[in-house]
Amino acid sequence: MVDGAPRGAGLEADVYPVHMFDNAKVNHCLLSFIMRFNDVLDPEKLCDALSRLLEIGDWRKLGGRLKLKKDGKFEIHVPKCFSPDHPGFTFTRTDLTTLGIDEHDAACRFPKPTENPSIQPISADFRPFLARADFPKSIKDMIQRDLPQLSLHITSFNDATLVAVSLPHTLMDAMGIQALLKSWSLVLEGREAEVPPVLGARTDLLLDLDYGQESKREDFVLNKHRLQGRKKARFALQFLHDKVRNSSPELRVIFLPKWAFDQLQQEPRRQVTESSKASGENHFISEGDILTAWAARAVALSEPKPRPVTIGGLLDGRSKIPKFAQSEGVYAQNVLTVTSVFIPPEMAKGDIATIAISHRRQLLEQSSEPQIRGWLKTMREELQAGGEGLLLFGPSDGLPMLVNNLKKADYIKVVNFGEAVVRQGEATESRCNPLGTMVMNYNQPLDRPLGWPNCFYVLGKDHADNYWLMGSMVPRVWDKIEEGLQSLQKEG
């Protein structure tokens, strides 16, 4: 019935489905989510708490192993009882407690807060911190080796700890990871009774969301902009041309102190206020709109000729669909939809406020419940037709940009590993976070480069309201971002 179970083929197991949207080929990648803590944490306590979480109800699904069915789809086999031979996750630790984190050749360059805005490279030297050396090279490799989906890899220093959780994207999305981290923290704190149940582990609620909603149906606004046939072919040629003419994108983190972001948003907010007064309309823009507009403008300004910019944004569908939003539990799966915001060439090189207003207007139009249903229906039809799950919209000559705003996930403040603290690490006056909470985090694929050009991540805020951002951009875009940061001056 299934392939890829050489060691566990005869093991009695519970079988869970991998839902249609999780099965999409765009999710066939391995991710590492890494967290930096400025305290010394007990690896065994973290391991024990995660082990216990995976024994609670349908949290067990996360502790299973992927199997490939004969129809080419995945399913998950979970041992009836986890054991040392068949654990719910792979646990490894690197002990570097003879060194402080700043004394290690590579770890000393791991992203950290700075007094002024800074751009900090994500080095290939960080790979040993993301996962163990023999981590699977692909999902196929994971299946053939009969490995658990989850991997926990901890690197311990005498004043800090790096904690990395790796998993296939077929398992869950960003908000699923948030639910995992939050529940892991609850178990560690002895608050097991507060762990929410995993919902929809066996039944795919996304499959029938567009049924029985005739009163809420409306035209899917992006349909008229969909790239298909010749338009898609022209887009592909332009994409390849851009790839050939550009140097390789570089992955870097941006630290934006609170004072710097306050200064960055001051002028756009002033312009929005004036625009509202002049037009009689109340223009609202969020911090995410401002950051997205700022990054999109840098991308546009780096181009030798004006081009339209298409901003693809990832949107969590849980809060938009009542069936999900009103549930008393969590959905550890992929419930992402994608928005497409179109910025014309002249606007893309203009002021941040105008881009931000347009971004907000188009987001509002696309994020209503009927539009979310329309996107899900279109995606379902794409997957049922054998597509990879990549819907493209916009002008065929558009400059593509992907924005993933993770501020809502609030990872830095959700995770509390205080019960695992062995010793305080950083004890400086500038420390702003409680014991056992993280300084920063980021995620990246382990089995491939990010691939998509002009990727921009809003990683979120730390405990002092400083912003952490990340981008995968070509050097000339980074030059424009650097110019923008240099224009921010700390007062006093």
Could you read off the pLDDT of 237-268 as tens digits, one per residue?
999 999 898 889 999 999 999 999 999 999 99
Pairwise CA distance, residues 250 & 453, whole Å: 10
Show the DSSP H helices in 201-257 as ranges: 229-245
- Counting beta carbons within 10 angstroms of the beta carbon of residue 92, is it exposed (0 to 12), middle (13 to 18) or buried (19 or more)? middle
CA–CA separation, 437 and 462 (whole Å): 10
pLDDT digits (tens, 9 = 90+) for 272-322: 999 888 888 888 999 999 999 999 999 999 999 999 999 999 999 998 888
The rounded percent of the chain whose pLDDT value lies above 70 is: 96
Is residue 214 pLDDT above 80, yes or no? no
8-state DSSP, 196: P
pTM: 0.94
What strands, in cross-sheet order, belong to the sheet with 30-37?
89-96, 150-157, 161-168, 30-37, 438-445
Do 263 and 294 form a contact (C-beta atoms < 8 A)? Answer: no
Q: Is the pLDDT of residue 150 over 90?
A: yes
The token pair that represents 241 in the structure block: 């041309």
The structural domains of the chain, with segments of one domain joined by +, span 2-197, 206-410+450-486
**Out of 114-123, 237-246, 417-426, least confident range:** 237-246
Q: Rounded distance, CA 149 to CA 411, Å?
A: 21
Query: Which residue shows structure tokens 């603290």?
Result: 421
> What pLDDT does residue 394 have?
96
Question: Which whole-number Å values give the CA distances from 112 to 35, 299, 437, 487, in the listed order?
Answer: 11, 25, 14, 21
Contact 462, 433 (CB under 8 A): yes
Q: Give residue 215's pLDDT band: very low, low, confident or very high (50, 70, 90).
A: very low
Helix (H, G, I), strand (E, B) or coil at 229: helix
Residues 6+ apart with CB under 8 A from 317: 206, 324, 335, 336, 337, 372, 376
- Max CA-CA distance within the chain? 72
| Residue 460 reports pLDDT greater than 80 | yes
Q: Which of 174, 93, 129, 107 is nearest to 414 (CA)?
A: 174
Please name every residue paired with 310 in a beta bridge, in sequence order, or none if there are none: 342, 400
pLDDT at 2: 41
For residue 211, the model assigns a pLDDT of 46
**The pLDDT of residue 216 is above 60:** no
Return the bridge partners of 69, or none.
2
Alpha-carbon distance of 144 to 138, in angstroms, equals 10
159-174 pLDDT tens trace: 999 999 999 999 999 9
State mean pLDDT over 69-88: 95
Q: What pLDDT, on a 0 to 100 scale, did the predictor assign at position 11?
A: 72
Residue 79 scores a pLDDT above 80: yes
pLDDT tens track for 22-37: 999 999 999 999 999 9
Q: Which pLDDT band holds residue 9 (cuts at 50, 70, 90)?
A: low
Q: Is 247 helix (H, G, I), strand (E, B) or coil?
A: coil
What is the pLDDT at residue 492?
A: 59
Residue 213 has what pLDDT? 53
- Locate the DSSP E strands across 370-437: 399-405, 421-424
Asked if the domains 2-197 and 206-410+450-486 are classified in one and the same CATH topology, the answer is yes
pLDDT reported for residue 130: 98
pLDDT, greater one: 128 or 327: 128
Kindly state the helix (H) or strand (E) to which residue 463 belongs, with its residue range: none
Domain 2-197: top CATH class:
alpha beta
Amino acid at residue number 172:
M
Return the percentage of the chain with pLDDT > 90, whole number.
86
Q: Residue 343 forms beta bridges with which residues?
A: 309
| Averaged pLDDT for residues 400-423 | 98
pLDDT interval class at 114 (50, 70, 90): very high
pLDDT in tens, 360-405: 999 999 999 999 999 999 999 999 999 888 899 999 999 999 999 9
- Rounded to whole angstroms, how far apart are CA atoms 120 and 107? 12
Q: What class is the 206-410+450-486 domain? A: alpha beta
User: Are residues 122 and 251 in contact, defined by beta-carbon separation less than 8 angstroms?
Assistant: yes
